[in-house]
Amino acid sequence: MTEHHRPLFGSRIGAILAAVGSAVGLGNIWKFPYEAGQNGGSAFLLVYLACVLFLGVPVMLAEFFMGRHTRQGAVGAYRRLGIGSPWGYAGYLGVLGAFLILGYYSVVAGWTAEYLCQSASELMCGTQEFKSPERFAAEFDAFITSPVRPILWTVLVLGLSFAAISFGVKHGIELSAKIMMPMLFFLMIILCVRAMTLPGAAEGLRFFLLPDFSKFGSRTVLSAMGQAFFSLSIGMGCMVTYASYFERSTNMQATACSVAAIDTLVAFMAGLVIFPAVFSFGIAPEHGPTLVFVTLPNVFQQMPLGAVWSTAFFLLLVIAAITSLISLYEVATAYLTDEFHWGRLPAAAAVGGGILFFAVFCSLSCGVLNDFKILGLTIFDALDSLTNRVLMPLGGVLVCLFVGWRIDRRILKAELTNKGSVPFHFFRCYAFFLRYVAPIAITLILLDQLNLFR
């Protein structure tokens, strides 16, 4: 597709908000707090910050380069820049990865919609029966194992994403981010203030902010890096695709830094909401994936005006999930529109159908299909592990090696500085990082993930 026919984001702020919409998702609000909770609170936070700064930002910038320079999605960008070499295939990894992530991401997004609906109806009816902690766990379990209800919610969130995608880059993706992201920040700030003013909040802040190095180990580093990649939406061609819609005048260095900073801020704020709230009611924070669905509802019910807070929280979660879902959805849609010149609507419909197929199995694997195991994991866990532990780091290494070694430095520099109009003071340092430091660091972590060091 030529420059003139490529749809573009309409404004600088729109481009940043769309990328932030992709980055800020369930990863920040659902995964980050429980990963931090399980890996020693602020020790995890420190390592996480280092991973974002030294691995996340450089990889994101490399993805931005690929997308805007070629004006293509993941597959087209690798193919065009790696002409005549097997590099062309690396882009398929991104499309495949995005598709597999969507399989379970859309299911969890559906769960958040169910919880929003429950909280909102409690708020509206004004009745709230008191439930024991076990009851919350049992209800969550009953919900995710049921064969129909979670799938209906998944269909709903996918339908909303489909709508946004089919309205196009500017009127769908950008506009939805422009509406939803400010709402998200607003809700986040209110929830932060509420949580930090609860009696006993300091205990939670201490847990989150004072490092506990006794829990520090190689797992901490691994989880932090995996989390940084997931949270910044890198390694799967998502930022390549979004950058292909950037204006030539977009300052990509500033955009990458802003996206990483805002994403990290939102994850940090999610910690500031969750830990004070959890500690304030004397509940243990190490609950893993059920933290927001089981532990938090129990916390909300003990707060005055609990239904208000839980509705706000789940609305926040739904918004975060949908804007990220849209970005993953766009990776696969752009593949069909770029490579096969399909129209946006049929492409989006075909991708939606494909995702739904995976998502149904994924959802059923929490219940009826629970005994069906791939390498000892349910379909849901297998998709999560495969994408997080293997495909995302692998995608990250490939981007670094490709841009670091294969691309002419002058071309890279011209693109990242908008032909010299934006200074890039640390360019040499950056190029060195892309060539050596980042690929080696990510490979070590990848090998460790595959248990090769144990």
The verdict on 27 binding ligand TRP (CB under 6 A) reads yes
Residues 6+ apart with CB under 8 A from 243: 63, 64, 65, 66, 67, 68, 252
Q: Which of 45, 55, 137, 236 is close enough to bind ligand TRP by CB under 6 A?
A: 236
Comparing CB distances to ligand TRP, the nearer of 389 and 413 is 389
Point out which span in 47-55, 324-332, 377-385, 422-430 binds ligand TRP (CB under 6 A): 324-332
Check if the beta carbon of residue 286 is closer than 8 Å to that of residue 38.
yes
Question: Taking Cα atoms as reference points, which of 217, 222, 243 lies closest to residue 59?
Answer: 243
Amino acid at position 417, single letter: T
The verdict on 260 binding ligand TRP (CB under 6 A) reads no
The verdict on 230 binding ligand TRP (CB under 6 A) reads yes
Q: Which of 25, 150, 271, 439 is close enough to bind ligand TRP by CB under 6 A?
A: 25
- d(C-alpha 84, C-alpha 82), whole Å: 6
Point out which span in 20-28, 273-281, 302-310, 431-439 binds ligand TRP (CB under 6 A): 20-28
- Provide the minimum distance between the beta carbon of 449 and ligand TRP in the complex, in angstroms, as a whole number: 15
- d(C-alpha 177, C-alpha 13), whole Å: 10
DSSP assignment of 198-244: STTHHHHHHHHHSB-GGG-SHHHHHHHHHHHHHHTT-SSSHHHHHHT
The verdict on 327 binding ligand TRP (CB under 6 A) reads yes
Q: Which of 166, 220, 324, 337 is close enough to bind ligand TRP by CB under 6 A?
A: 324
The verdict on 278 binding ligand TRP (CB under 6 A) reads no
Neighbours of 127 (CB within 10 A): 9
- d(C-alpha 24, C-alpha 267), whole Å: 8
DSSP H helices, 306-406, are 306-340, 344-364, 379-385, 392-401
The verdict on 328 binding ligand TRP (CB under 6 A) reads yes
Comparing CB distances to ligand TRP, the nearer of 42 and 324 is 324
The site string for ligand TRP over 354-393 (x = CB under 6 A, - otherwise) reads --------------------------------------x-
Point out which span in 156-164, 170-178, 321-329, 422-430 binds ligand TRP (CB under 6 A): 321-329
Comparing CB distances to ligand TRP, the nearer of 233 and 337 is 233
Contacts (CB under 6 A) with ligand TRP, residues 392-431: 392
The site string for ligand TRP over 279-318 (x = CB under 6 A, - otherwise) reads ----------------------------------------
The verdict on 188 binding ligand TRP (CB under 6 A) reads no
> C-alpha distances in angstroms, 127 versus 65, 189, 446?
53, 26, 49
> What number of chain residues touch ligand TRP (CB under 6 A)?
16
Q: Which of 8, 17, 28, 41 is close enough to bind ligand TRP by CB under 6 A?
A: 28
Phi, psi of 167 (to 5 degrees): -75, -5
> C-alpha distances in angstroms, 48 versus 35, 77, 297, 314, 321?
10, 29, 27, 25, 21
Sign of CA dihedral 90, 22, 357, 337: negative
The verdict on 238 binding ligand TRP (CB under 6 A) reads yes
- Provide the minimum distance between the beta carbon of 23 and ligand TRP in the complex, in angstroms, as a whole number: 5
Locus of tokens 């009127």: 171
Residue ranges that bind ligand TRP, judged by CB under 6 A: 22-23, 25-28, 101, 230-231, 233, 236, 238, 324, 327-328, 392
